[in-house]
Structure 1
Amino acid sequence: MPTPAIPDSVRDLVHLVRHRREPVVVQAVRSTAAAVVSYVVALALSSEPAPLTAPLTALLVVQVTLYATLTTSVRRVNSVVAGVLVAVLFSTLVGLTWWSLGLVILASLAVGHLVRVDEFVPEVAISAMLVLGVARVGATAWDRVLETLIGAVVGFLFNLLLTPPVWTAPAGAAITGLAARMGELLGHMRDGLTGRPGSAAFPQAAERLHEARRLDHDIVQVDAALRQAEDSLRLNPRVKESLLQRVVLRTGLDTLEICAVVLRVACRTLTDLAKARPHGSLYPEHVAAALHALFTHQATAVASFARLVTAQISVNAEQAEEDLARALDAARAARDRVARLLLEEVRDDPAQWQLHGALLAEVDRVLDELGVEKRTERLVEELDRARPRPEGVLARLTRR
């Protein structure tokens, strides 16, 4: 008996329910609700027939994190109030002409920089122009201030009572994706050693170098996702040990960034070696096979390190740490074998000894950065540096 087809509406509903906890979905629902509530409150308190400033303010204030909402609310309210005051001052002196409009915009932008509203500097000029362009300047100005305050308060209460989502999962996925791309690069470096003719060795090595340079763009994207996750952990009552989670993610990205730089240098070394050997393979077959195994273990270690950084519970963390330790042991054993084989190569052909030594040094640097002991030491240092010191807090209070 054939299975009945599932209607599209039911499939869409299942998909929506499955992704209802996605941070993007949660943020969209929260922003919409805050804008509607602020509009209803402004209708009751403001004399304007359509107080759209309140939902606009709430929509901009309800950021993805509580920490960002606190800082954004203050800056946005300051920008609107500053713009209104500039408009009221100019309306008492001059009317609305082309030159007075220019003076209002120039003065508003200058005031915006003076009150340090950062990205809301244009909002000062916008508020001033909107208020200056109406006939009843006084009433409209204070209605606009009231609507801005309503939107800011509603947005703040929404983030205070309905805690924003924690963005650690997208940050962890970004770190895992970066590790996967580094693993692909190591795989391509490994495949370029398997006895290719010298005529194709240099273009392939140059392509690997360009691929390594493209990792910089990936690191920038991961850093943006990580900053968002760090802000979502600050002042979040649902998160325990937020400092530890922030430090774990940040130090993990720092380590992968260092490894990416070292891999780029290793690709440069292989490119120089391919340039120096235009009519032969990079390495003999037995050396290429040993390097093949070494790069394979390195890729496994990078993937295990990413799993260790993004592990959320202790059981997963312990398993990831064991996997990383095994991968590093295998990589170090392969590294020692490669070192012995390269030493023999240098004795037979000492012309490129510096490139062989540089490649070994770059392998050692990656393995050292991924080491469990090195990571524990870095975590302790960063946690100690990030914790506020009592004497530092006392000194700041004394200055204030």
Structure 2
Amino acid sequence: MARWRLQSTTAWVQRIRATGRVPFLQVVKTSVAAVAAWFAADLLIAQVPPIFAVIAALIVVQPSVNQSLGRALERSIGVIVGVVLATGISLLFGSAAWIILVAVVLSILLAWALRLSQQTSNQIPISAMLVLALGAASPIYAIDRIAETVLGAAIAFVVNLLIVPPVLLEPARREVRELAEEIARSLERLAVAASEPVGRSALEGHLVEVRLLRPMLARAQVAVATAEDSLALNWRGHRHRGELAGYDDALVSLGVLVTRVAGMTRTMRDHYDDSLHHEAVMRQIAAELRRAAHDLRIRFVLDAPDDASDTGPLLTAPLVVVSPHPDHWIVIGSMLEDLRRVHEELTAD
């Protein structure tokens, strides 16, 4: 029982903790935006503590400038709708405590009817509750809170725009290169299976490893999409857009290679026998697989030897195919077709 409770507690702790910290620069920017929003709203609007301005600043500072703009719009629209709704309800029904619950329910229904985004939908009832809880029934108060929110959101957006806006290119670079490296290793494993006897357990292991390429491809696509988002509206982004476009193109080729390598690995597992490596063409296929792995590393600038970039791609020799054993023609034909597509992707301009 005690062990179960410890595991349960650990699971809940993991739910509330992130796998890594946000960059300290973002913490600084959030703090600067919150402080600036407080003093600006206090100077320009005054009357009450500028809570709405600070909340807007805290929400709007995001990992990218593009996300900050989106959150600024969501926060502003949500606050405008919520404050107007709360003010109208307060003027019609007074300031009884049950009015807050009515406002919350109406806010949720209104957001649903308008098909608003999740962030905007959340802001409407929150803003309505805050206005009613603070006892505001005047249109002037509503206008001030809207102006305060827009001011806080604008300040946070400008802070995120001007203070070293993030360029999230390194995760995209790393994910693309790791994917290409793992594809190269899969090609080399196939080369070994094509040139020498390997056990059934090794082939099963190859199939398990090649299935991991799909999640790696998905992570690389997410990383590239995140990098693209970080460059939008970013004055530091123009110098990186060419490199990012290259990663976009790379993912198209790597996606094809993932499919082909998975197909070759499955074919080898399904049709392999210990006499397959005696076929002359299989030794040629093994050599082509190693060339493909070499060329893949060069094309995507991976952890190759320092002089690898000087050697250039390895030339492909024509394959001479004699009539294979009747038990082997399926695997040989399938491997040749997949290998042809692999070389097409690696030699494409």
Structures share a fold, TM > 0.5? Answer: yes
Aligned to 2:290: 296
Contact 1:105 1:129 in 2 (8 A): no
Contact 1:83 1:108 in 2 (8 A): no
CA distance in 1, matches of 2:308, 2:51: 52
Aligned to 1:361: 337
| Runs of 5+ consecutive residues of structure 2 not aligned to the other structure | 1-20
Encode CA deviations 1:129-175: one digit per residue, 9 max, x unaligned: 33233323436644532332122111121133334122222211221
- Alignment partner of 1:365: what SS? helix
After superposition, the Cα gap between the structure-2 partners of 1:31 and 1:190, relative to the gap in structure 1 and judged at 3 Å, is farther
- Alignment partner of 2:23: what SS? helix
User: How far 1:23 sits from its partner (Å)?
Assistant: 9.2
Taking structure 2 as the reference length, the TM-score comes to: 0.79
Output aligned runs, 1:82-231, within 5 Å: 82-94=81-93, 95-97=96-98, 100-101=102-103, 103-110=105-112, 113=115, 116-117=116-117, 119-138=119-138, 141-193=142-194, 195-196=196-197, 200-201=199-200, 203-231=201-229
Aligned to 1:12: none
User: How far 1:30 sits from its partner (Å)?
Assistant: 2.2
CA distance in 2, matches of 1:83, 1:367: 59
User: How far 1:281 sits from its partner (Å)?
Assistant: 4.6
Give the % identical residues: 26
Contact 1:112 1:121 in 2 (8 A): no
CA distance in 2, matches of 1:300, 1:220: 24
CA distance in 2, matches of 1:355, 1:289: 13
Q: Point out the structure with the larger helix share.
A: 1
Encode CA deviations 1:19-65: one digit per residue, 9 max, x unaligned: xxx9934333323322232233234334333x343233223222223
Aligned to 1:326: 313
Q: Is the aligned partner of 1:59 residue 2:54?
A: no
User: How far 1:99 sits from its partner (Å)?
Assistant: 6.2
CA distance in 1, matches of 2:103, 2:270: 62
Contact 1:76 1:117 in 2 (8 A): no
CA distance in 2, matches of 1:59, 1:185: 46
Taking structure 1 as the reference length, the TM-score comes to: 0.70
Letter in 1 for 2:216: D
Aligned to 2:235: 237
CA distance in 1, matches of 2:30, 2:254: 35
After superposition, the Cα gap between the structure-2 partners of 1:71 and 1:105, relative to the gap in structure 1 and judged at 3 Å, is closer
User: How far 1:101 sits from its partner (Å)?
Assistant: 4.9
Letter in 2 for 1:154: I
Aligned to 2:251: 253
CA distance in 1, matches of 2:263, 2:229: 33
User: How far 1:118 sits from its partner (Å)?
Assistant: 5.5
- The alignment's C-alpha RMSD in Å is 3.1
CA distance in 2, matches of 1:104, 1:134: 19
Encode CA deviations 1:160-194: one digit per residue, 9 max, x unaligned: 33341222222112211111222232233334445
After superposition, the Cα gap between the structure-2 partners of 1:236 and 1:103, relative to the gap in structure 1 and judged at 3 Å, is closer
Contact 2:279 2:324 in 1 (8 A): no
- Alignment partner of 2:277: what SS? coil
